Amino acid sequence: MHKGLKEIVDSFLLFDSWEEKYEYIIDLGRELDPLNKGLRTDANLIVGCQSKVWLYCEEKNNKCFFYGDSDALITKGLVALIIKVFSGLDKDEIVNFDKAFFEKIGLRSKLSMTRSNGLNLMLQKIINFAKK
Amino acid sequence: MKYLDSEKIRKEFPFIVKNKESKLIYFDNAATTHKPQAVLSSIANYYTYTNSNTHRSSHVQGVSSTEKYEQARQTIADFIGANTAEIIFTSGATDSINLVANSYVQNIINQGDGILTTEIEHHSNFLPWQKICKTKGGELKMISFDENFKIRVSEDQLIKERIKFIAIHHVSNVTACIQDVKKIIKLAKKLDIPILIDGSQAASHLKINVKDLDCDFYCFSGHKLFGPTGTGILYAKDEKIRKFLPNKLGGGMVSHASVKNSVWERAPLLLEAGTPNICGSIALADAVKYILKLGLDNIYKHENMLAACTIDVLKRIPNITLYRCSESSIPIFSFNINGIHHYDIASLLAENKISVRSGHLCCQPLMQKLNINGCLRASLSIYNTVDEIEQFGKSLLKIVKFLT
């Protein structure tokens, strides 16, 4: 388990209420590096989310890196969380990533259905990129 | 004063009963309502005791099925003041509008003709007209509306824009505005322009009489008035229904078929090709009977009371913008809290077990006109209570504080 992932698991284990969990997610969003305006394009927009989500993927020295943003606070936090989990991994690591991770940390069960779908769309884009 | 006994009503809705302990608050009734036991029993009873195809079989169950299906048509016809031959069972309001578009309107629109609608329409009463205009060289024209979302049509506009068809909502699914459709229909009649009224958000709240309105077409979905999904109604005036060219061909809609020629059945059967949603239509009629038992006057007064309470609660929320007709009695409330994304609020309301809608509400032209990317919508129904409204207000205040 890499450092970013361990940090998330440890944090989530401490939360009891929805307030704590969302506070953590929103804070992750606030700490996210701003997305270069040139990358806020329709090509990087994930279609199907109720809020706008941009996710840009690139590969450098056999490692994948992700950059993103959203116009909604909680979704932006989720983008940041996804980036924290996957950025810096190689393609094999992403493809073989434990799909049940988000259930295990109780993230999915704590989110309304559409939010889960948004999460699924982001995951799908990252996995598709890694499979190329 | 109580016009309806909401505690008694709540016990009649198994979904509400099942979620009593979790204290789920369902405020998404403009999207779909829950179903009373009477409707659920109707569905079970149909498949247990009747299940047979209609208008075909002469055996006992077949005859019984046809009788019940046609009785359902009679119930719906009585509900809106129509004749049975003018009632077409569809799969919903979207299906009803597309039927009018494909079987009638596209045959009367020529190059340069106008179809008149509004930017407030649900996509289902907008996209079919846009498509016809694109394929037939017509022009889609808009009716303007005031700051209270009331639409205004002039005789001058109808003439100048060569309007050949009008399609408008009765009640908006965003603004709750009850349009003065009778006045607009009168104007349309004066110039002999056929007019369709989308009653999707009206039929469970207001008394409808299509003869009194004198519209050519009126439609609504069954699932928004306590009936099953996949059911809907199109009322088409007798003189108009005769001009329909069926766009779905198949079983049950021909009186004679041979290699050389086929003769269509009489209306409305010629527009109901294939095995219809028999069970759904019968259950929809039972939903209508349920509404009539409660009384539309009582429903109107009860919902008016719920609407007033909700307005009081929403007024306490800082930085709120309501997109609502101030004169409306319909308990639909679309709003934004300045500086907070509607989706963030809807997500946290869901965490608090409060179901509301967020997004463009299938009304993107209106969202563009209001210069917003979406909003929240709380929509109430007969089983919602003042306590739920108070809880909604408290949760909303807490969430707004949390997100700012």
Q: Give A56-65 pLDDT, tens digit per residue.
A: 999 999 999 9
Chain A residue with CA closest to B376: the answer is A50
CA dist., res. B19 & res. B11, Å (int): 11
The pLDDT assigned to B52 comes to 86
CB pairs under 8 A between A and B: 41
When pLDDT is averaged across residues B195-210 and rounded to a whole number, the result is 97
**Which of B343, B351, B352 comes nearest A72 by C-beta?**
B343
Q: Model confidence at A118, in pLDDT bands (50, 70, 90)?
A: confident
Q: Give the confidence band of B98 by pLDDT, cuts at 50, 70, 90.
A: very high
Coil, helix or strand for B16? helix
Strand pairing class (B232-236; B217-221): antiparallel
Model confidence, pTM:
0.93
What is the spatial distance between Cα A71 and Cα A45, in angstroms, rounded to a whole number? 11
- Domain B6-30+295-403 grouped into CATH 3.40.50.300: no
Q: Pick the catalytic residue: A46, A49, A53, A64?
A: A49
What is the average per-residue pLDDT within B203-214?
Answer: 97
Most confident of A105-114, B118-127, B243-252: B118-127
Q: What is the pLDDT of residue A115?
A: 60
One-letter amino acid at B256 equals: H
Q: What's the whole-number mean pLDDT along residues B54-69?
A: 84
Dihedral of the CA atoms B351, B357, B360, B361 (nearest 10)?
A: 170
A72 touching chain B per CB within 8 A: yes
What pLDDT score does A117 carry?
Answer: 65
| Whether the Cβ atoms of residue B359 and residue B374 lie closer than 8 Å to each other | yes
CATH 3.40.640.10 residue ranges of chain B are 40-292
Give the residue-averaged pLDDT of B338-347: 94
Per-residue CA distances from B134 to A58, B23, B44, B120 (Å): 41, 49, 45, 20
SS3 A59: strand
Which element (helix H / strand E) includes B378?
A: strand B375-379
For residue A21, the model assigns a pLDDT of 84
- For residue B204, give the DSSP letter: T
Distance between CA atoms of residues A92 and B353, nearest Å? 39
Confidence of residue B343 (pLDDT cuts 50, 70, 90): very high
Is residue A64 part of the annotated active site? The answer reads no
- Give the span between the Cα atoms of B257 and B245, in whole angstroms: 17
Distance CA(B85)–CA(B100), nearest Å, equals: 16
Whether residue A83 is predicted with pLDDT greater than 90 in this model: the reply is: yes
Range(s) within chain B of domains with CATH label 3.90.1150.10: 6-30+295-403
What's the pLDDT score for residue B330? 96
Residue A116 has pLDDT above 70, yes or no: no
Asked if the interface predicted TM-score (ipTM) of this complex is over 0.95, the answer is: no
Can you say whether the dihedral through the CA atoms of B202, B74, B99, B359 is positive or negative?
Answer: positive
Least Cα separation, residue B344 to chain A (angstroms): 6
- CATH number of the structural domain spanning residue A111: 3.90.1010.10
pLDDT tens digits, A22-55: 899 899 999 998 898 899 999 999 877 778 899 9
Chain A: residue whose CA lies nearest to B347: A112
The yes/no answer on whether domain B40-292 falls in CATH 3.40.640.10 is: yes
Neighbour count for residue B180 (Cβ, 10 Å)? 14
* DSSP output for B135-202: HHT-EEEE-EE-TT--EE--HHHHHHTTEEEEEEESB-TTT--B--HHHHHHHHHHTT--EEEE-TTT
Domain span at A100: 3-131
pLDDT score of A109: 64
Rounded Cα distance between B286 and A49, Å, is 37
Give pLDDT tens digits for B145-175. 999 999 999 999 999 999 999 999 999 999 9
- pLDDT for A112 equals 60
Predicted confidence at residue B22, as pLDDT, reads 86
The C-alpha of A47 sits at a distance from chain B's nearest C-alpha, in angstroms, of 14
- Inter-chain touch A73–B359, beta carbons under 8 Å: no
Q: What is the pLDDT of residues B272-288, one digit of tens each?
A: 989 999 999 999 999 99
User: CB-CB: which of A23, A50, A52 is closest to B358?
Assistant: A50
Residue B202, pLDDT above cutoff 60? yes
pLDDT at position B99:
97
Q: Provide the number of structural domains found in chain A.
A: 1
Question: Between B43 and A2, where is the model more confident?
Answer: B43
Q: Check if B203 contacts A (Cβ < 8 Å).
A: no
Predicted confidence (pLDDT) at residue B340 exceeds the cutoff of 90: yes
Angle at B149 between CA B288 and CA B202, to 5 degrees: 5
8 A C-beta contact, residue B181 and residue B197: yes
A110 touches chain B (CB under 8 A): yes
Confirm if B148 and B327 have CB atoms less than 8 A apart. yes
In this predicted model, which residue has the larger pLDDT, A48 or B82?
Answer: B82
- A120 — pLDDT class (breaks 50, 70, 90): confident
